[in-house]
Amino acid sequence: MRSIRRGVTVTEVLVVVGILGLLAALLLPAVQRSRAAARRTVCEANLKQFGIALHNFADAHGVFPMNRKPYWRLLPYLEQDALHDALRARPSGGPEPQFGASVFVCPADADVRTVEGEYSYHYNDGTRFRWQGRNGIISRPGPPEDTRLSDVTDGLSQTAAMSERLVWRGEHVHLSEAEVASQPLRFLWYTQRQMTHEGREQEFVRICETERTTAYPAFWGFNNPGLGALPRGGYDHLLPPNVPGCLNGPYGDVARGYEVVPANSQHAGGVNLLFADGHVRFVPSGVDRTVWRALGTRNGGEAASLF
């Protein structure tokens, strides 16, 4: 009589497990790439909303809202009237209202916390030390406070308006040196010496690249639309995307307003960039530095092209 097999052999189990493992190895990277692409698309769409809001504001007021709490002033044009009113009604020193505006945050940043008012998108400061006069979409504080469209003589389609930065971890979050070192783009780094002379920005860029010491474990700048008044917000075009930025000077002797704050992200290979005419491009981390700096100025007279 023929015997009936009532189970499977160890070899058969191992074969099935091996096949499943092979399928997972083949499919998982594709799924991860698809999710990353979706997050990048959402991030791009958020910046496009900012571009529309900036131009709607400019149509109403004749200027871009580049100074005096620029994020707060833009809220009604991002369909955030309730948040705008809640922030205006908040007493000085009072608790912050709850934030829930996903348009402010890039979903690719694993550390972002929307309800705490964090935001990923920052205005372009230009290619100068901030306290020596911004030449990006933001002007130096003081009259004329806001940037007129006619001030952008390099052309709206050739001038960066906003890009992205990874959010900070909070001033009261204690991080080990290893944790900070594992995320070098999320923080600004001290340097061995200061360089604050006018027109010496590129010399400080070299110092930042070669004489970094330790990181200050927080993003230098407010990270909240209600408190996001200049001068401490923004990013600049002194360094290309996705390289570490620097405070200007050693620990205990930092020159405020002279830091280098590059654009950065957790997208693979670059950052999203909103231009002053409202279109968005993905700019690779390896973009030519001359082109990147030219895109950062509103009136430098450079001919810049990413093509």
The sign of the dihedral angle between the CA atoms of 158, 287, 66, 267 is positive
Residue 228 confidence (pLDDT)? 39
- pLDDT confidence of 224, banded at 50, 70, 90? very low
Cα–Cα nearest to 266, from 121, 187, 163, 166: 166
> Above pLDDT 90, what percent of the chain?
41
148-204 confidence digits (pLDDT tens): 899 999 999 999 999 999 987 655 456 677 777 788 898 889 999 999 888 889 999
Cα–Cα nearest to 187, from 208, 214, 162, 225: 214
8 Å CB contact between 156 and 298 = no
- pLDDT confidence of 47, banded at 50, 70, 90? very high
**Residues contacting residue 81 through CB under 8 Å, at least 6 positions apart:** 75
Mean pLDDT of the chain: 82
Most confident of 53-57, 106-110, 141-145, 300-304: 53-57
Three-state secondary structure string covering 69-137: CHHHHHHHHHCCHHHHHHHHHCCCCCCCCCCCCHHHCCCCCCCCCHHHCCCCEEEECCCCCHHHCCCCC
